[in-house]
Amino acid sequence: MIDYKTLKHSDNGMPTWDAFLGPLLKVAETKEEWKGTQLNQAVVDFVNLPSDLKELRYSSKYHDLVANNRAGWALSDLKISGLLVSPRRGIYKISDLGKAALKKYGLNITREYVHSLPAYIEHKNNLKSNANSDEENDEQTFELIEKQISDWFNKQNSDLSEQLLSKLRKTDPYQFEHMMVRLLSNMGYKGTNGQSLVTQKSNDGGIDGIINEDPLGLQTIYIQVKRYAENNVVGSPEIDGFSGALRRKRADRGVFITTSSFTSGAKEAARQLNIALVDGEKLSNLMIQYKVGIQVKETYELYDIDDDFFEE
């Protein structure tokens, strides 16, 4: 087993899908052949996740286990790239190319390396070719059933979330404050006729943004934001400092937003002081949900029969 904390991970500690690439090859090497589901579960056990992460599920209709789902994405890309081969349906084994990669890179196999391999590039080109073709083929190379579409979107959102956080961490701090105030406004906290503003750089008194939920400012939310690197975790002293700034404003509500994460002490302090916390992972998910800093690339609609229509 290895320590999951040493792998690339989201702010809640869950390894990202590409963090499973190296561990998956490592586990695959221990047996001649694996059933896909067994290999998937073995790698989740290998990274030694705590029970809360091991049992974490998506909120979508399928409620898949997040860790197993991400390991499945890694398994798929390893097979496409030729690092794993499938001698029979549902059976996988490490290839000579996979053994060589494991020997050279160990657990540090990246998505950039996997996606640079000739077999993966050829696969992507074939997909583009199929997408641009007007010919219909009843025996397509792949079939996207509803479940597979859901998995694909989960992977895209996971990648987008990481890219979004990376970009936020490089953003000008004052611009970042404006973005966070806009996010909360888009979430509806500004109200119908309320106001939102970012405080002046030189005299914010520990308050970075203010949202008045009504025209008279009788209901006000104060905001503090920290554009931190992933390993710069927010602790309880910063929460206490923000609480002091709220008291000076005679406020009873505040939102603390960071691109990193919070210590357990910070979470406990925030709970006692009525401060809402938004860590990096939650922040990126909210920005995607409320379409702040992103744009819709494509829209697809999936239809179903309206049984009520036929029963009228």
Report pTM.
0.57
pLDDT of amino acid 106: 93
pLDDT of amino acid 140: 43
Q: Domain of 228?
A: 170-289
Q: Is 93 exposed, middle or buried (0-12, 13-18, 19+ CB in 10 A)?
A: middle
- Of 5-14, 171-180, 242-251, the least confident: 5-14
One domain for residues 189 and 125:
no
Q: Are 211 and 220 within 8 A, CB to CB?
A: yes
**From CA 59, how far away is CA 55, in angstroms rounded?**
12
pLDDT of amino acid 134: 44
In this structure, the number of other CB atoms found within 10 A of the CB of residue 259 comes to 29
Residue 164 belongs to some domain of the structure: no
In this structure, the number of other CB atoms found within 10 A of the CB of residue 216 comes to 10
Mean pLDDT to the nearest integer, 81-88: 94
Mean pLDDT to the nearest integer, 261-283: 92
Q: Is 50 exposed, middle or buried (0-12, 13-18, 19+ CB in 10 A)?
A: exposed
One domain for residues 188 and 273:
yes
DSSP, res 234: B
pLDDT of amino acid 206: 79
**From CA 230, how far away is CA 280, in angstroms rounded?**
8
Going by their DSSP bridges, the two strands 91-94 and 195-198 should be labelled as unpaired
Q: Which of 66, 288, 56 is nearest to 165 (CA)?
A: 288
pLDDT tens-digit series, residues 131-186:
555 444 444 444 456 666 777 777 777 788 888 988 999 999 889 999 998 898 88
Question: CATH number of the domain that 241 lies in?
Answer: 3.40.1350.10
Number of domains in the chain: 2
**From CA 259, how far away is CA 159, in angstroms rounded?**
16
Residue 218 belongs to some domain of the structure: yes
The HSE-up count of residue 257 (CA atoms within 13 Å, CB side) is 29
Domain C-terminal end among 87, 110, 133: 133
Start-to-end C-alpha separation, the chain? 59
Residue 148 belongs to some domain of the structure: no
One domain for residues 104 and 188:
no
pLDDT tens-digit series, residues 200-245:
664 566 798 888 876 666 678 899 999 999 889 999 999 999 999 9
One domain for residues 101 and 220:
no
pLDDT of amino acid 61: 62
One domain for residues 106 and 177:
no
